[in-house]
Amino acid sequence: MSIREPKNKTISFRLSDQEYTVAEQICHQQSFESMSHFARCAVLAYSENPPGTVDAAELAGMKRRVDAVMKQIAELTKRVGTDSAFESEKQTDRLEEQN
């Protein structure tokens, strides 16, 4: 078993309340250890030069998980957006225009 490099660099970014809620749900559903673990997996899964401590099979698995999670985020974001009163009102208006 290889010794992994210490994780001493930080990346920070902002999310809206809605995006954060979706990210929390996905992390829980996909059993990520933490948001940091999810973000790290996303970066490594799309890296052209992954660190030597991550083998190809592990990297491919991470990429599949990240792809699945990104798809879920997109679907949940669409659902949350259409559940708002504003979106419901817009949908009602569109239906009335069609009739």
> Which pLDDT belongs to residue 26?
83
Please state the domain extents for the chain: 17-98
Predicted confidence (pLDDT) per residue in 23-72, tens digit: 888 888 888 888 888 888 877 777 766 555 566 777 788 888 888 888 88
Instruction: Return all residues near 1 (Cβ < 8 A) that are at least 6 apart.
Output: none
Predicted confidence (pLDDT) per residue in 82-96, tens digit: 555 455 555 556 655
Distance between CA 81 and CA 61 in Å, rounded? 30
> Which pLDDT belongs to residue 95?
56
Instruction: Return all residues near 67 (Cβ < 8 A) that are at least 6 apart.
Output: 45
**DSSP code string of 39-97:** HHHHHHHT-SS--TTS-HHHHHHHHHHHHHHHHHHHHHHHHHHHHSHHHHHHHHHHHHH
